[in-house]
Structure 1
Amino acid sequence: MGLRKPTIEKLLACVFVLAVIVVLPSKAQQDAQFSQYMYNGLFFNPAFAGKESGYKFSALHRSQWLNYTGLNGPAPLTQLLTATGRLDNFNLGYGVTFLNDNIGATSNQEVNFSIGYHKRLRRGVLSLGVSGGLFSSTLKYDLLDFVDPEMIFPTSGDETQMNFNFGLGAIYDRGNYFVGLSTRHINEPGFDFGDGAINNQLRNHSYLNFGYRLKTFALWTFEPSFLIKTVSFNNFSYEFGVIATQNNKISGGITFRGQESVSLLLGYSVLNDNSLKIGYAFDLVVSNVQAKAPTSHEFMLTYNLQPLVREYQKAIQRTPRFRF
């Protein structure tokens, strides 16, 4: 008798458990981070492009470490804009993301265009995505603090460089749960400021995202999620949390970012069809407080536009002999 082949669910579970085991303390991560990561999957994974029918637009603003003043500039600020749609007849989705991330002496902007292909596989849907775009990095010389005073660099002004940026992703969704794997900055673009004297290479970032949807009593749903992040597979960090939603209207939850902070998330949907949602996240730093300000704030606005469905009613035709 032959051995039974392992199911997709078991394979995915093994991958998830293995990823949890290898999680190590977090180190330098160049990508922006969001407490409401479960609502902004397109930023991490291009396979989210057109994963659901209709059109989705979102805007997010994050003020990290409020009132922080360090040696290399003010507290980090991040803005994210996303838009995605779907071509149902071709099982294709498309999306665009724009990010503005200001941290210390650097200001980064990136725009990425994503294409996703979605196909039913067994009892779920397999989504594959690819993204490409531009990454722009600006270095502000007046905010730099050089260790070696004999090094000759400009003391004012800034310099901007731009490079191409590519990513890949995949998602398997069974309805009550999903798992996604993605990688960003595959080509690891470099920015050699100061005629090559300052090397600022953008490292490859990879993500493993897992979410579960649990419907319970009185129109309550609970959605635990897990996000594992790695930079060039040299170090790992993680975030996990759970969101509770009542009748698709009011939501609240809590997340934990490994070795950094705890976040409280709130959400409220307006309009009759709940298509417009307002979200807020409050972060409280619980680790390495000396090097950071204790609180961060994140505001989010999303709008879901469902495709128009035209219903035609057949008119009754009457003739002297027939009625149909």
Structure 2
Amino acid sequence: MKKCLLFIMLLGSFHCAYAQQRPQYTQYIFNNFILNPAISGIENYIDVKAGYRSQWQGLEGAPETSYISFHAPLGKNFLYGTSTSVPQSGGTNPNSRSYVQTYMASEPHHGIGFHVVSDKAGPISRTDVNATYAYHLGLSASVNLSLGVAAGLSKIYLDQSKIILENQIDPAIGSGDYGQLKPDLSAGLWLYGPRYFVGAAAQQLIASPISFSDDESYNQGRKVPHMFISAGYKVYLGDDFAAMPSAMVKVVSPVPVSVDVNLKLAYKDKLWMGASYRKDDALSAMAGFNIGSFINLGYSYDFTTSGLNTVSNGSHEIVLGVFLNNRYKVSCPQKSW
């Protein structure tokens, strides 16, 4: 067990210094807002999400992530207008072709949001708190563009009690500052219409140093930028069914580029299932459902395909969504699906 703890400690230290520092999500397609602030206020209701991810089950000290987020549009013209082409009592199934025929670009409006993310990996834990803002405008009758920013704080903490050292006096740790507050800044853009989206976001734009040692020669770690590029397209398979292939490329220097490919199949606005492939990491199965115009729920399970598959029992992730102030009785997201 000591070897396992030491391995996780070293992995966590590398993770914090130069590797991927943001949490991994399988169901990011269900809540792209957690990655891209430009999505703030994209729908005409208050979108609330809560998520939990347990990664690499069976491996001691493996990452655990939880978050809560919400975002909403501002402006009465957007809330009461025809920006989603849906009458107040509900209306066109967003999976149907008729929705494309009547789709209208959003009225220019502002969106705001907020999210808190807690991530733990081995002896290192991190909490990110960010407020977001976005501006949406219609470029044409059916094309929308939004630009967004997020700003906040990151608290990074090293739990020394979870570290087992051969030499109790280790200059790499010393009596260092085990709880640190760092500024955080992100930006993104989102181009979207009734059948597609293309987005790009950059997180951790402020490269703050991260160190836990009194010895300056060991203080080489810092927050590094994370780039996310994503795109998706809706293919109609009849009035009741739709397929939504999507992909995301994640760039975090100097580690290899990460590529996710997804396929989501939806039945009306009630049920969906899908699959995902993450290069050199995992295969995933996903499913979810919507309950009326108030709640939706998604679950995914990752089958580990990397070298950790000999000690990992896979990863679980669950996301609960709630639609508040849903005046149009929308039962399925129509701008971000």
Both proteins in one fold, TM over 0.5: yes
Report what 2:12 is aligned to: none
Structure 2 CA distance for partners of 1:293 and 1:306, relative to 1, 3 Å = same
State the shift of 1:194 in Å.
Answer: 2.1
Structure with higher strand content: 1
Alpha-carbon distance in structure 2 between the residues aligned to 1:200 and 1:106? 14
Rg larger in structure:
1
Report what 1:318 is aligned to: none
Is 2:179 the counterpart of 1:188? no
Q: In 2, are the aligned partners of 1:193 and 1:199 still within 8 Å (CA)?
A: no
State the shift of 1:199 in Å.
Answer: 4.0
Alpha-carbon distance in structure 1 between the residues aligned to 2:208 and 2:119? 17
Instruction: Describe how 1:1-324 pairs up with structure 2 within 5 A.
Output: 28-69=19-60, 74-88=61-75, 89=77, 91-122=109-140, 123-144=142-163, 151-152=170-171, 159-195=178-214, 196=216, 197-232=218-253, 235-271=256-292, 273=293, 275-289=294-308, 292-308=311-327
Alpha-carbon distance in structure 2 between the residues aligned to 1:206 and 1:147? 38
Structure 2 CA distance for partners of 1:290 and 1:173, relative to 1, 3 Å = closer
Alpha-carbon distance in structure 2 between the residues aligned to 1:299 and 1:276? 14
1:299 aligned partner, one-letter code: I
Q: In 1, are the aligned partners of 2:282 and 2:306 still within 8 Å (CA)?
A: yes
TM-score by length of 2: 0.76
Q: 212-221 vs 289-298, which deviates more?
A: 289-298
Sequence identity (%): 27
Q: Any idea what SS the aligned residue of 1:235 has?
A: coil
State the shift of 1:294 in Å.
Answer: 3.2
CA RMSD between the two structures: 2.4
State the shift of 1:108 in Å.
Answer: 0.4
Structure 1 residues not aligned, in runs of 5+? 1-26, 310-324
Alpha-carbon distance in structure 2 between the residues aligned to 1:284 and 1:45? 26
State the shift of 1:286 in Å.
Answer: 1.4
The alignment of Structure 1 onto Structure 2 pairs a total of residues equal to 277
Q: In 1, are the aligned partners of 2:172 and 2:212 still within 8 Å (CA)?
A: no
State the shift of 1:153 in Å.
Answer: 6.2
Structure 2 residues not aligned, in runs of 5+? 1-17, 78-107, 329-337
Alpha-carbon distance in structure 2 between the residues aligned to 1:200 and 1:233? 13
State the shift of 1:57 in Å.
Answer: 0.2
State the shift of 1:154 in Å.
Answer: 6.3
RCO higher in structure (CA 8 A, sep ≥6):
2
State the shift of 1:133 in Å.
Answer: 0.2
